[in-house]
Amino acid sequence: MKRLNASLLVAAVASTPLIAPAALAETRVAVSALAAAPAIDGDLSDWGDNWQKVHIKPALADDDKNRTGELEVELQVGVAGDEVFFAARWPDAQADLKYRPWEWNKRRKKYSRGKDRDDMFAVRFDMAGDFNTCMIEDADYEVDVWLWSAGRSNERDYATDMWHKITLDRLENAAEYETPSGNTVYIQKEADAGLPGFENTRVKRTDFQGDEVPGIEFTPGPRGSIGDVAAKGVWKDGYWHLELKRKLETGHDDDVVLKRGGTKKGQIAFFNENYAEHKSVSDALVFDFSGL
């Protein structure tokens, strides 16, 4: 896999024909009717014992930047009223909460962004096109993404609501990658409208304020569609415990509609102190609301 420089692309890339992805392995996840809405507090004691194990593995083979590897995520999904709830727990030796802090270089007498990143968990849902579990493939599709970050959104009790478009058609201001077949895939990632609950910290790089300055600061948000997903994670005893909830239908065009009696294809991923393609992911999941 290779990140491409836009200046090296030729016009022919934009007209590259879509190659249909291979059939995806799928796991059914039954969505249950909940007797009451769970509190979104990271305490999973009110979920009972009906856990389903979902295997995740590195998204890229031989990825030496992946720190997660293969593990089992225990998952439950339920509906109460007009809301859907997710509960997940998975092993992690420690809680990684820092996000790119500013680190003082004593020799150069200035700050630079550090490499530490917080743990993240994502749920993505099929919205349009040919859903694929890999983003760097010959495919064309759109997904709704709920991205929880342990040191950022978790402090404001939400998961960032996002929309991703993956396509072989050329997109301006999109990340560009070479697929295994040699084509170019364009990946556009956008947060939903509104204000987040955190932002990057700005520092005067030569003004010493300590050996390390937090890389983010918290704001009064979230506000708007970006905060549609309430979430709370708690790390204890070597495990992350995470809960999320969102309305089945938000009324926003950039959000997936989840319906009683239907199904929706999706996927989960975990980023152990990591980012982007260096995550571990599940096969395709079919969230089954037919029993409601």
At 8 the pLDDT is 28
Residue range 91-103, pLDDT digits in tens: 999 999 999 999 9
pLDDT band at residue 136 using 50, 70 and 90 as cut-offs: confident
pLDDT band at residue 134 using 50, 70 and 90 as cut-offs: confident
- What percentage of the chain exceeds 90 in pLDDT? 86
Q: What is the C-alpha separation between 247 and 79, in angstroms, rounded? A: 9
pLDDT for 7 beyond 50? no
Residue-range domain boundaries for the chain: 2-16+25-100+114-189+228-288
DSSP β-bridge partners for residue 126: 143
Residue range 24-61, pLDDT digits in tens: 689 999 999 999 999 999 999 999 999 999 999 999 88
CA distances from 265 to 95, 110, 123, 157, 238 (A): 29, 48, 11, 26, 30
Q: Which alpha helices (DSSP H) does the chain contain, by range? A: none
The least confident of 20-34, 126-140, 238-252 is 20-34
- Tell me the pairing of strands 71-80 and 26-33: parallel
Strand order in the sheet with 102-105: 110-113, 102-105, 212-213
At 24 the pLDDT is 63
Residue with tokens 């999941």: 285
pTM score of the predicted model:
0.89
At 229 the pLDDT is 98
Q: Which CATH number fits domain 2-16+25-100+114-189+228-288: 3.30.1360.180, 2.60.40.1190, 2.30.29.30, 3.40.50.2300?
A: 2.60.40.1190
At 275 the pLDDT is 82
DSSP β-bridge partners for residue 146: 123, 161
